Structure formats: C-alpha cells, structure tokens
Amino acid sequence: QESIVKVENLKKYFPIKGGILKRTIGHVKAVDGVTFDIKQGETLGIVGESGSGKSTLGRVILKLLDSTEGNIFFEDQDITKLNNKKMRPIRRDMQIVFQDPFASLNTKMSIEQLIEEPLLIQTDLSKDERKEKVNSLLKVVGLRPSDRLKYPHEFSGGQRQRISIARALAINPKFVIADEAVSALDVSIQAQVLNLMADLQEEFGLTYLFISHDLSVVKHISDRVGVMYLGRLVEIAPKKAIYEEPLHPYTQALLSSIPDTDVDREREVIKLEGDLPSPSNPPSGCAFRTRCPMAHERCAVERPELIHKGDGHYVACHLYDDEA
Ligand code: SF4
Ligand code: MG
C-alpha cells in the first residue's frame, strides 16, 4: 500500500521570549522528532493529552505552520520547503476540520455561502455548477436542500460539524485532518458524525489523520493509532494492538482510564500521577519518567527511541529494548 503522507523527524519549536529585551530564552518543543506515514485510504488516529503537540503536528503537516526541522512528503513530493505559490495546487488536496464548528464558521454567511466559498476561491466552476455542487454536498453530509438559506446559529452542534465537513469536502481533497472534530459534541452525536466521516471515506477514497485527546473516539474510526507525549510519538501500532496489547506505560495508563466495553476482563487501573510537565522544560531521558510507575535509572539518562516489536507495532520505552 502506497503512503500518501509521510513525515520524517518532524520538529516544531516555538521560541520563548523573556526579559526586557525580549530575547529568546528557550523553546517549547511542541513537536520533537516525529516520524510516521499514512497509507492511501487509511485513517491514522493520533491521541495525547492537551499539550502533547498533536494539534501543532496537524498544522505543520498542512504547512499552516512552518516546521523547525525534518521533512513532510505528500504523494512522494517533499513539500517541506515549498512556498505558498507552489503549495496552492497541493493545498486543494489537504483539508482540515476543527473542533468548534461555530467558531470556525462565519455566522453572517448562509450555509450556501459557506459551502460555496471554497468553490469560489479554489475552482472555476460556474454559478450554476457551484449551486449544484452545494446541493450535492448538503445531501452527502445529510442536510436538506432547504438548509441552504439558513445560518449557522439555526443548527445544532452536530449539524454545524456536518457543514464544516461539507466545506472541507467541497474541493475534493484526498487527505483530511480532523482536529478534535467531534470533541465538542454529545456522545450520541459523536457517533453519528464519526459514522458519516467513515461513509465519506469509503465513498470518496479519503485518507484521514484523526487527532483527539480521547482514545474512545479514535477507536471507532482508526486503522492505526499513534500516541503522543510531550511532542514525541511514544507508541504507534495497528488499532487492535494498541487497544488490546498496549506496550507503553503511558498508553496503558490512558487505556485504563476509559471504560472497557469490548474485552471481558478487568483491567488494572493505572493512575497517572501528576500533571503533564512543561514542554519548555521536559524531563531528561524519557519525558514520561516523572509519571511512569515503571521508571528506572536508565530512564533519566537515555531517551528511548521508537523500536519495532513486530507486526507494525512500535514503542519508545526502555522496557522493550535489548538492554532491558
Ligand atoms: Fe517508563 Fe522508562 Fe519506559 Fe519511559 S522508558 S515509559 S520512564 S519505563
Ligand atoms: Mg488540540
């Protein structure tokens, strides 16, 4: 299977300014050396607490933010250094759906105008063609043709997210990043929007990067899942392996905090101690060591690298490398 998106050792550091001269006194390492690929037609879920760098990762991949180091490939083309002009045709292939549809939708525009906007900017369809396309998009995301003339405030949160999805799909992208796309919705509505996204993926052959703080959300839709902690990928594996045989102590802790509905066994509850350390001053060695029940001496001095444990299951933890 071909990969459509690939990132290699991707980093995004934000400078911290301080003192009266506002000099750079340090960096927030929001994304700190992330490598993975996403196959054509696949959904890769990325989970992590807020502050883990997952949203920054999404923005850097779409080049809404410049990367600090590393490379981004889209359909085998290295897009890391492309300028805006060169990016323009590629941008049509990559879209993002954000968490709060109400915040990201201009409330003064009708639904028709909102869905038509990307068509106006990015295509040269005629007025009639655009109208036809808007109607078909409304249908595709489960809204009525008569909804065209309404305004965002007349819709529920779930319906507004359908409008955001229609906008994202208007110009036929190949790759869609969903950043906490269902997190603001009630659980029952979440399921509807996730099902819609899965159907659209089938219908249009989309590839998804699905970012969420919530492991139970990502579970529905992902083929593989990556877990981020303080800007680093600590585990990535096919979905079944992540949920049934998690290796990293952090993944195990995250999983033990969500209700286990599929597997008929008691899971030992691992409580995460303390808060996420500041990404501007992460712990030495393994960044998770201040909260890890399995931490040992080596964890303070040596940073664990992702190693392959077989069947596409990668983990970055000294418990699993050869010297353990
Ligand atoms: Fe815990 Fe050490 Fe593994 Fe980090 S490397 S997760 S501190 S055991
Ligand atoms: Mg976020």
Atom of ligand 1 nearest to the CA of 234: 6
**Tens digit of pLDDT for each residue in 204-215?**
999 999 999 999
- From atom 5 of ligand 1, which residue's Cα is the shortest distance away? 317
Yes or no: say if 56 and 257 are a contact pair by the CB < 8 Å rule: no
* DSSP-assigned letters across all residues of 207-252: EEEEEES-HHHHHHH-SEEEEEETTEEEEEEEHHHHHHS--SHHHH
Domain segments of the chain: what residues? 3-93+173-315
Q: What is the mean pLDDT of residues 72-93?
A: 94
List the single range of 128-137, 226-235, 259-268, 289-298 with lowest mean pLDDT. 259-268
Ligand 2 being an ion, which residues bring their Cβ within 5 A of it? Answer: 55
For 134, what's the count of Cα atoms within 13 Å in the CB-facing half-sphere? 23
- From atom 3 of ligand 1, which residue's Cα is the shortest distance away? 317
Q: What is the pTM of this model?
A: 0.92
Q: Which residue bears the tokens 């954000």?
A: 98
**Tens digit of pLDDT for each residue in 107-131?**
889 999 999 999 998 889 999 999 9
Q: Is the pLDDT of residue 52 over 70?
A: yes
Q: Would you call 24 helix, strand, or coil by DSSP?
A: strand
Q: Is the pLDDT of residue 265 over 60?
A: no
Q: Please report which ligand is nearest the Cα atom of 292.
A: 1
Sign of CA dihedral 292, 30, 211, 209: negative
Q: Cα–Cα distance between 249 and 292 in angstroms, integer? A: 7
pLDDT band at 268 (very low <50, low <70, confident <90, very high): low
Per-residue model confidence (pLDDT) at position 271: 72
Yes or no: say if 171 and 163 are a contact pair by the CB < 8 Å rule: no
**Exposed, middle or buried: residue 2 (CB in 10 Å: 0-12, 13-18, 19+)?**
exposed
Per-residue model confidence (pLDDT) at position 269: 66
List the single range of 15-24, 182-191, 264-273, 288-297 with lowest mean pLDDT. 264-273
Q: Which CATH architecture has domain 3-93+173-315?
A: 3-Layer(aba) Sandwich (3.40)
Q: What is the mean pLDDT of residues 289-293?
A: 94
